[in-house]
Amino acid sequence: MVPDTRDDTPLWLFADQLGPAVYGGEHAHREVLLIESTAALGKRRYHRQKLHLVLSALRHAAHDLGDRATLIQADSYTEALKNFNKPVLVHEPTSHAAEKFVHRLQKQGLVTEVLPTPTFALPRKDFQSWAGERTRFRMEDFYRDQRRRFDVLMEGKDPVGSRWNYDEDNRESPPKKQRTLDVPAPYQPREDDIDAQVRRDLDALDLHTIGNDGPRLFAVNPAEGRRALKRFIEHRLPAFGRYEDAMMSQDWAMSHSLLSVPLNLGVLHPLDAVEAAERAYRDGDAPLAAVEGFIRQILGWREYMWHLYWHFGSDYTAHNELEAHTRLPDWWADLDADAVTAACLHSALEGLRDRGWNHHIQRLMILGSHALQRGYRPDELTDWFATAYVDGFRWVMPTNVIGMSQHADAGLLATKPYTSGGAYINKMSDHCGDCAYDPKKRVGDDACPFTAGYWAFTHHNRDRLAKNMRTRRAVSSMDRLGDLEAVLEQESARDRF
């Protein structure tokens, strides 16, 4: 139903709906309601910097909207809505639990209408039509259709450069004899009085959080989002593609965009990011491989994860096809990087502890791979990723973790488990040179836990892997190992990483 734009029903914004795509346009005349819920802040053990970003975003929205906005601080959303004493409109929230909650509020008369989500490129109903009766999904199919639908990097009916995907050009190892990528620094916002008050309020609430407090690193309002995008496009996008999958211990951001937070807060629209990147290519300011790789992340993968979250349903996180039942260890759950010896794992946990953020390869091929090899429970891992990461809203992680990282959905999303031994980490990072573990060794005190763990994982899942065309070679290679029994005995007792 299209709302009657002549009415003056206020519009309630969740903390990830804080951009002009939500409150502008046909809704620009409406009063806006923003709610800080103490119960929501303390419901889970969030990263301290994530809570800061959410509160800062809400309060900056209230400041920027001026007289249009009413910000209510209450114990719960329901209490705030009752105190507001007016029914409200709301756009579809971004999680199954929130959607059910909004529908309950609608039955109570606190919400009048639930409108379609405007913060993604493709509407949910259009994805439902695309998905049809599919039982297996390929991101590449979706991505190509997105390019055609939105006419992005196209020449008529054909992709620019006659190729859809330049992933093979975006897999270079980090440059030798460099500690950093040597590109201009990413945009970093200046903290203001709002941030100072947020920090004081969080200290007073004394919530059970993880991670360190620190300076705000990410954009939280539309103006900052535009500046962050401009900085990336003009100064960092040209170097993005080549080293997209590389890891450097002294360069946490490398040439990544750092736009996931403003995108997931709704203050930056994905099509604005996509159009800016394409314009840089058309103007000759960035190479095609880098631009295509970035656009694939936004218009392809991010949109794909969003829509599959809804398509797979609320019980998707119960999938555990590989029967992984190990509880998350305390050092992992607490982000205790100092308890970890392996340089790659230490670096990833340290970055997450200090900033609430890692780039996608650290998430998938370090943290995710370790969790897969050690059989951590995928449901616990999904919750951990959603609360430990500053960009980890509830819709983001199920498909990324259950489907892509942990292969817990029996291949519904990905065709194989994503894990590796130390050789991959050695090739794609500068971690191994100073590490106490040797990526070439599988047995001994200095045996790499990823190398040995890879073979232990392969052995534990050999029957499934042998049936998969993409993984059967790993089983054959494992069967030729002369020290397999020693590897398995060592890894079954390993308690130090």
Sign of CA dihedral 406, 273, 46, 38: negative
Cα separation of 213 and 13, whole Å?
26
Please give the CATH architecture assigned to the domain spanning 318-493. Answer: Orthogonal Bundle (1.10)
Nearest alpha carbon to residue 267 among 12, 15, 32, 11: 15
325 token code pair: 């039942």
Q: CATH number for the 124-187+215-308 domain, one of 1.10.287.80, 3.40.630.10, 3.30.420.40, 1.25.40.80?
A: 1.25.40.80
Q: Six-digit token pair at 57? A: 């975003």
Please answer whether residues 88 and 108 qualify as being in contact, where contact means their C-beta atoms are separated by less than 8 angstroms: no
Residue 245 has pLDDT above 90, yes or no: yes
Q: Which residues contact 315 (CB under 8 A, 6 or more apart)?
A: none
- Reading the block at residue 32, the tokens are 């806006």
Nearest CA among 15, 18, 67, 20 for reference residue 36:
15
Nearest to 89 by CA among 167, 1, 213: 1
Q: Give 169's contacts (C-beta < 8 A, 6+ positions apart).
A: 241, 242, 289
Handedness of CA 347, 351, 352, 353 (dihedral sign): positive
What does the alpha-carbon distance between residue 75 and residue 306 come to, in Å, rounded to a whole number?
29
> Which SS3 state, helix, strand or coil, does residue 88 take?
strand
Buried/exposed code over 135-144 (b: 16+ C-beta within 10 A; e: otherwise): eebebeebbe
Q: What's the pLDDT tens digit per position in 440-496?
A: 999 999 999 999 999 999 999 999 999 999 999 999 999 999 999 999 999 999 999
Please give the pLDDT value at position 199. 98
Say whether 429 sits in a helix, a strand or coil.
strand
Q: 135 falls in which pLDDT band (50, 70, 90)? A: confident
Give yes or no for residue 3 having a pLDDT over 90: no
Q: DSSP 3-state assignment of 114?
A: strand
Note whether 5 and 74 are within 8 A (CB). Answer: no
H/E element holding 201?
helix 193-205
**Domain locations in the chain?**
11-115, 124-187+215-308, 318-493
pLDDT, tens digit, 9 for 90 and up, residues 365-410? 999 999 999 999 999 999 999 999 999 999 999 999 999 999 999 8
Does 3.40.50.620 match the CATH number of domain 11-115? yes
Rounded CA separation 168/427 (Å): 15
Amino acid at 11: L
The sign of the torsion formed by the CA atoms of 339, 340, 345, 346 equals positive
pLDDT tens-place string over residues 148-173: 999 999 999 999 999 999 988 888 99
Q: For residues 307 and 2, which has the higher predicted lDDT (pLDDT)? A: 307
- The residue length of the chain stands at 497
Cα 218 to chain center, whole Å? 14
* CA 124 – CA 117 distance, rounded (Å): 8
**Which residues share a beta bridge with 115?**
91
Instruction: Quote the pLDDT of residue 5.
Output: 47
| Burial class of residue 145 (count of CB atoms within 10 Å of its CB; 0-12, 13-18, 19+) | middle
Q: Is the separation of the CB atoms in 163 and 291 below 8 Å?
A: no
User: What's the whole-model pTM score?
Assistant: 0.95
Q: How far apart are CA 72 and CA 255, in angstroms?
A: 39
* Confidence at residue 6, expressed as pLDDT on a 0 to 100 scale: 56
Question: Does residue 1 carry a pLDDT above 80?
Answer: no
User: For 111, phi and psi rounded to 5 degrees?
Assistant: -120, 130
